[in-house]
């Protein structure tokens, strides 16, 4: 499968996914760590892809959504943003609402 297809499948196949350096339990950069903490603080499960273990995704993800940096958070197939946007949304309570709505929608389907 083409790398862009793999990225698309991961984004569309998960209500909430973060492409990050490392894992939520063992992040490999500060931005990924803070983003994962915000996502975990929402109290819902989320998927993740460790871009350090997949060089093809690491090299091509910036082309997928025209977003040059990591981490990248997607909710319901839409790019939310990186660390700063995710943290700002978390502090305002917007991230929790978006994730709960995304998860609720998947349970109804």
Measure the CA dihedral 7/9/12/17, to 10°.
-50
What ranges make up the beta strands (E) of 40-83? 47-50, 72-75, 78-81
Condensed to tens digits (0 to 9), the pLDDT of residues 60-103 reads: 999 999 999 999 999 999 999 999 999 999 999 999 999 999 99
CA 105 from chain center: how many Å? 18
Question: Rounded distance, CA 109 to CA 57, Å?
Answer: 29
Q: What global pTM score does this model have?
A: 0.94
What single-letter DSSP state applies at residue 43? T
What is the structure's pLDDT at 82?
97
């Amino acid at each position: 499968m083409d790398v862009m297809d793999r990225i698309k499948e991961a984004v569309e196949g998960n209500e909430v996914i973060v492409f990050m350096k490392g894992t939520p339990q063992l992040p490999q950069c500060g931005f990924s760590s803070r983003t994962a903490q915000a996502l975990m603080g929402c109290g819902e499960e989320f998927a993740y892809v460790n871009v350090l273990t997949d060089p093809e995704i690491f090299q091509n993800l910036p082309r997928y959504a025209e977003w040059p940096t990591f981490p990248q958070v997607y909710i319901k197939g839409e790019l939310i943003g990186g660390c700063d946007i995710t943290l700002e949304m978390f502090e305002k309570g917007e991230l929790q609402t978006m994730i709960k709505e995304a998860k609720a929608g998947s349970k109804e389907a």
